[in-house]
Amino acid sequence: MIFDLEGVLTPHEFLLELAERAGKYEEVLKEFRAGINGHRSWLESLHRRIEILRGTPEEFAEEVAAGVDLEPGAAELTRALREDGWKVAVVSGGFDVVRPSLDRHGLSYDRFMSHRLVFEDGRLSGVELRFPDKGAAARRLKEEIRPDFVVAIGDGWNDVPMFSEADLAIGFRPKPVLEGYIHMGASDIDELARILLNGRLEAAAEHDLRH
Question: What type of residue is 74?
Answer: A
Q: Above 80 in pLDDT, residue 97? A: yes
* Residue-level pLDDT at 128: 98
Q: What distances in angstroms separate CA 124 from CA 36, 53, 116, 117, 171, one per listed residue?
A: 23, 7, 11, 7, 32
- CATH numeric code, 2-10+70-206: 3.40.50.1000
Contact 180, 210 (CB under 8 A): yes
Instruction: Give the model's pLDDT for residue 66.
Output: 98
- Report how far residue 195's alpha carbon sits from residue 199's, in angstroms, rounded to the nearest whole number: 8
What is 150-175 written as a DSSP string?
-EEEE-SGGGHHHHTT-SEEEEES--
> Which pLDDT value is given to residue 211?
46
Least confident residue range of 86-90, 175-179, 206-210:
206-210
pLDDT > 70 in the chain, percent: 94
What is the per-residue pLDDT across 114-146, written as a single tens digit (0 to 9) for each? Answer: 999 999 999 999 999 999 999 999 999 999 999
Q: Pick the more confident residue, 210 or 124.
A: 124
Where residue 202 falls among pLDDT bands split at 50, 70, 90?
A: low
Residue 39: predicted pLDDT: 87
Mean pLDDT of the chain: 94
Q: What is the pLDDT of residues 5-60, one digit of tens each?
A: 999 999 999 999 999 999 999 999 999 999 888 888 888 999 999 999 999 999 99
Check residue 37 and give its pLDDT: 82
Continuous H helices in the chain: 14-22, 25-36, 42-53, 58-66, 74-83, 99-104, 134-145, 160-163, 189-196, 201-206
Exposed/middle/buried for 23, CB within 10 Å: 0-12, 13-18, 19+? exposed
pLDDT at 197: 92
Distance CA 178, CA 78 (A): 24
Higher per-residue confidence, 10 vs 205 = 10
